[in-house]
């Protein structure tokens, strides 16, 4: 995976994993506030790549653990607003999502500082062939932190 260098534009990185050997047993689809998507739905076997400067990948270059892999979605220059992360299970499992956000650089005196924040969800149980929605709040404002909120599973099933 080629890593984007998007410090001046801001950045949103989403890392997801399950505790099985090999690739994660969930897929993710990220929708930005404008309705553009990136990701892969393993149940319908459909991929999206509608975000202008974004990429997704599965990284199996062992992370010091067993044979587990992690998925990565990176958005360069994200817009402020609510992002919808759909987690889609191939099998019953537990997943974890880590979200790292960097604001765009802003002129402050004679430098261009940016703000890094992170959040995540750990060991969330999900049933085979089900979908869950995680709402992410991102702001390009250097004073704001990224947040993640898991929607009630019934809500995710009823309105998908």
Report pLDDT digits (tens) over 25-55: 999 999 999 999 999 999 999 999 999 889 9
- Indicate whether 5 belongs to any domain: no
Q: Is the pLDDT of residue 128 over 50?
A: yes
- Indicate whether 4 belongs to any domain: no
- Indicate whether 79 belongs to any domain: yes
pLDDT at 67: 67
Interatomic CA distance for residues 55 and 52, integer angstroms: 9
- Indicate whether 6 belongs to any domain: no
Overall average pLDDT of the 96-104 stretch: 86
DSSP letters spanning 78-137: PPSEEEEEEEEESSSEEEEEEEEEEPPP--BTTB----EEEEEEEEEEE-TT-EEEEEEE
Q: Is the pLDDT of residue 154 over 50?
A: no
Which of 65-74, 88-97, 149-158 has the lowest average pLDDT?
A: 149-158
- Report the chain's mean pLDDT, rounded to a whole number: 83
Q: Is the pLDDT of residue 77 over 60?
A: yes
Burial 79-103 (b: 16+ CB within 10 A, else e): beeebbbbbbbbeebbbbbbbbbbb
- Indicate whether 60 belongs to any domain: yes
pLDDT at 110: 55
Sheet holding 147-150, edge to edge: 46-49, 37-41, 26-31, 81-89, 131-138, 147-150
As for how many domains the chain has, the answer is 1
Closest by alpha carbon to 140, among 109, 92, 101? 101
- Indicate whether 130 belongs to any domain: yes
pTM of the model: 0.83
- Indicate whether 2 belongs to any domain: no
Percent of the chain with pLDDT over 70: 79
For residue 137, name the pLDDT band (cuts at 50, 70, 90): very high
Q: Could you give the angle at the alpha carbon of 49 between the alpha carbons of 20 and 36, nearest 5°?
A: 110
Cβ(16)–Cβ(23) below 8 Å: no
For residue 160, name the pLDDT band (cuts at 50, 70, 90): very low
- Indicate whether 48 belongs to any domain: yes
Q: What domain range is 87 assigned to?
A: 11-158
């Amino acid at each position: 995976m080629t890593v984007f260098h998007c410090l001046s534009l801001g950045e949103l990185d989403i890392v997801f994993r399950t505790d099985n050997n090999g690739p994660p047993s969930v897929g993710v689809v990220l929708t930005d506030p404008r309705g553009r998507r990136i990701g892969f739905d393993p149940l319908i076997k459909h991929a999206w790549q509608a975000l202008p400067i974004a990429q997704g990948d599965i990284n199996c270059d062992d992370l010091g653990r067993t044979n587990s892999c992690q998925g990565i979605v990176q958005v360069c220059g994200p817009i402020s607003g609510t992002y919808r992360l759909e987690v889609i299970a191939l099998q019953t499992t537990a997943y974890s999502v880590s979200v790292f956000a960097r604001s765009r650089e802003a002129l402050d005196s004679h430098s261009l500082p940016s703000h890094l924040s992170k959040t995540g969800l750990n060991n969330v149980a999900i049933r085979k062939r089900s979908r869950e929605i995680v709402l992410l709040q991102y702001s390009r404002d250097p004073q704001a932190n990224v947040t993640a909120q898991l929607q009630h599973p019934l809500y995710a099933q009823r309105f998908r």
